[in-house]
Amino acid sequence: MPPPPLLHLRDIRLRLGSSWLLDGAELMVGAGERVALVGRNGSGKSTLLKVAAGMIEADGGTRFLQPGATLRYLPQEPDLAGFATTGAYVEAGLAPGDDPHRARVLLEGLGLTGEEAPARLSGGEARRAALARVLAPRPDILLLDEPTNHLDLPAIEWLESELLQLRGALVLISHDRRFLERLSRAMVWLDRGTTRRLEEGFSGFEAWRDRVLEEEEAEAHKLARKIVREEHWLRYGVTARRKRNVKRLAGLQELRKRRKERVAAVGTVRMAATEADGSGTLVIAADNISKRFGDAPPVVEKFSTRILRGDRVGIVGPNGAGKTTLLRMLTGALPPDEGEVRLGTNLQMVTLDQMRAGLDPDMTLADALTGGRGDQIRVGGEAKHVVGYMKEFLFVAEQARTPVGMLSGGERGRLMLARALAQPSNLLVLDEPTNDLDLETLDLLQELLSDYQGTVIVVSHDRDFLDRVATNVIAWEGDGRWQDYAGGYADMVAQRGRGVQAKVSDVPRRESETRATEEAARPATKQKISFKDRHALETLPARIAQLEREIAALQAQLADPGLYARDAAGFAARSSLLGKKQAEREAAEEEWLRLELLREELEG
């Protein structure tokens, strides 16, 4: 006989308003098991985990915890209020007999000293302190709700290593695919209030989930066809014995009831970015830019890069390395102390920041999308009713008047995406866009970015997301140095020989840097750019700007809906001229870019 589980939730039912959030959900955890709890945002995963932790009492069902078993729970938003230091907060989670030395070791491993004041902690630092608090007692059952949110890559990889050594049982909610693949051994899928279990890790989950949904859809199709046959018989069939007719009619009513009560699978997010006219070929050119704040070491030191139209650039590094500072410099929001940043022509930039700035908690969801201007929103040049647009991002009509402050983290993330993607753009700047998004929404965001015709710059700690999206990665190398690598995160690791490391003060010099220093010290005969090329380099920007004005004027004329009816020949002539001007602009930009790269090579 197998040993009894350490934790067992059976037939858990919990009502949210007029509907059941949990309707017969189950969760069983044995000693040493590693279970991942997955489901859409708003499906009740965090609520079920709180029921497991004993923090919420369900409306129905039973919760069994093995007597004497220790359990620790990590919430999405840790509360450190009332503690003088992070060390005091972590030690308060220890039970009699627990080793206080382990608490300090964990804090140090997570990059904290234990002396930090909780009021001054960032979101990532608060999450690190909370992780140390739940890991220090070595509990029999560890419940983690989105433990990687706001953690940088070194901390995520450290946490993976620590959890792999854990002897106790683990129940984990996370949107980080790579994290789930490494740690899960069983999957519990929470869908429409009920749970299904797969005795495999995350690598087998998505194919299994899709099979389940396909089978369910096929069953629904069979049910619908059977109802049609029964209704046909009811209208046109030859009547027989009355008892048989009554029984068959009752069967039809039962079928109808089953279809009515059947809860449809939650829909998918329909994401589409509103794209503006194309930008120039060169989007951003940074030449030897540097930035420091006060007497602190440089955040960026003599960094150069070229970002061209269609590039998808990932920026990675530990917290505090300066990723957001570099991002702001590249986009022109923060001037460099030294060097130069040049932005390309016709850029229309839309930014999504990691702090979800711009969301007034008192504003309703509908007003957050429309700006408080009526009930219409323009997406891709066409007007949509705000409720219809909300539904494309999995919001229901009843949420239109819900204050933003009442939304979950995942819902706020979807709202920010909905707002950002409704704005015309050819440059998307995304700072930690994956925080709080569920796996299905992440899939669709990745597809959107892959199909997006413009340029994308993204700061992210999600390794799988970067591998799927990025065409190149700018990585922090220490001491303000940043290096551009081709490919995604795994490609960067292959080229560097290591992943992103924690921020330290004495990062050793790299072999490539030493070699570059030696070569720079050698005497060299420099060539110079020709007079003709230099003249072209100086005059092409003005020519490109003139072409932009001419193109804009032609587009404005062609936008007149009555032009074709009044002057069909003139419409055709302007259309042809517009094509020529756009091709001329493209050629001028290509030539300017070629000459600029040549100048750098000869004079740099």
Each residue of 139-180: pLDDT tens digit?
999 999 999 988 888 889 999 999 999 999 999 999 899 999
Q: What is the reported pLDDT for 435?
A: 75
Per DSSP (E only), the strands in 89-185 are: 141-145, 169-173
pLDDT band at 513 (very low <50, low <70, confident <90, very high): very low
Name the band, by pLDDT with cuts 50, 70 and 90, for residue 25.
Answer: very high
CA nearest neighbour of 228 among 218, 220, 240: 220
Residue for token pair 């003088």: 84
Pairing of strands 19-29, 7-16: antiparallel
Q: Provide the pLDDT for residue 299.
A: 92
Asked whether the predicted pLDDT for residue 595 surpasses 70, the reply is: yes
State the pLDDT at residue 516.
38
pLDDT at position 315 over 90: yes
Query: In this predicted structure, what is the pLDDT of residue 163?
Result: 94
Comparison of pLDDT for 579 and 67, the residue scoring more: 67
Q: What is the Cα–Cα distance from 284 to 326, expressed in whole angstroms?
A: 13
Please, what is the average pLDDT of the chain? Answer: 81
Q: Binning pLDDT at 50, 70 and 90, where does residue 279 land?
A: low
What's the confidence (pLDDT) of residue 124? 81
Residue whose token pair is 């517009």: 578
Q: Which residues contact 548 (CB under 8 A, 6 or more apart)?
A: 345, 346, 585
Please give the residue that has the higher pLDDT: either 122 or 483.
483
Residue 313 is predicted with a pLDDT of 92
Give the whole-number percent of the chain exceeding pLDDT 90: 30
When pLDDT is cut at 50, 70 and 90, the band that residue 395 belongs to is: confident
Residue 273 pLDDT greater than 70, yes or no: no
Look at the block and give the residue holding tokens 């009044």: 566
Q: Give the span between the Cα atoms of 124 and 492, in whole angstroms.
A: 24
Say which range, 154-163, 265-274, 508-517, has the weakest mean pLDDT: 508-517
pLDDT in the model for residue 380: 65
What's the pLDDT band for 515 if we cut at 50, 70, 90? very low
Distance (Å, whole) CA 6 – CA 140: 8
Among 352, 345, 596, smallest CA distance to 456 is for 352
Q: Give the containing element (helix H, strand E) for 306.
A: strand 300-308
Q: Do residues 481 and 301 make contact, with C-beta atoms less than 8 angstroms apart? A: yes
> Contact, 339 vs 381, CB < 8 A?
no
Smallest Cα–Cα separation from 76: which of 334, 369, 435? Answer: 435
**Amino acid identity at 437:** L
Residue with the larger pLDDT of the pair 109 and 360: 109
pLDDT above 70 coverage of the chain, percent: 82
Residue 14: which H helix or E strand, with range? strand 7-16
Residue 563: the pLDDT is 80
- Helical spans, DSSP H, in 452-530: 463-469, 489-496, 511-521
Predicted pLDDT at 89? 94
Mean pLDDT of 277-298: 84
Q: Could you tell me the pTM of the whole model?
A: 0.67
User: How far is Cα 418 from Cα 430, in angstroms, rounded to an integer?
Assistant: 13
Strands (E), 396-555: 427-431, 455-459, 472-478, 481-486
Longest Cα separation, the chain:
108
pLDDT higher than threshold 50 for residue 517? no
So what's the pLDDT on residue 326?
93
Q: How large is the average pLDDT for residues 511-523?
A: 36
What is the arithmetic mean of pLDDT over 281-300?
Answer: 89
Tokens 């004041």, located at residue: 117
Which residue is associated with the tokens 């700690």? 461
pLDDT of residue 199: 94
With cut-offs at 50, 70 and 90, classify the pLDDT of residue 238. very low
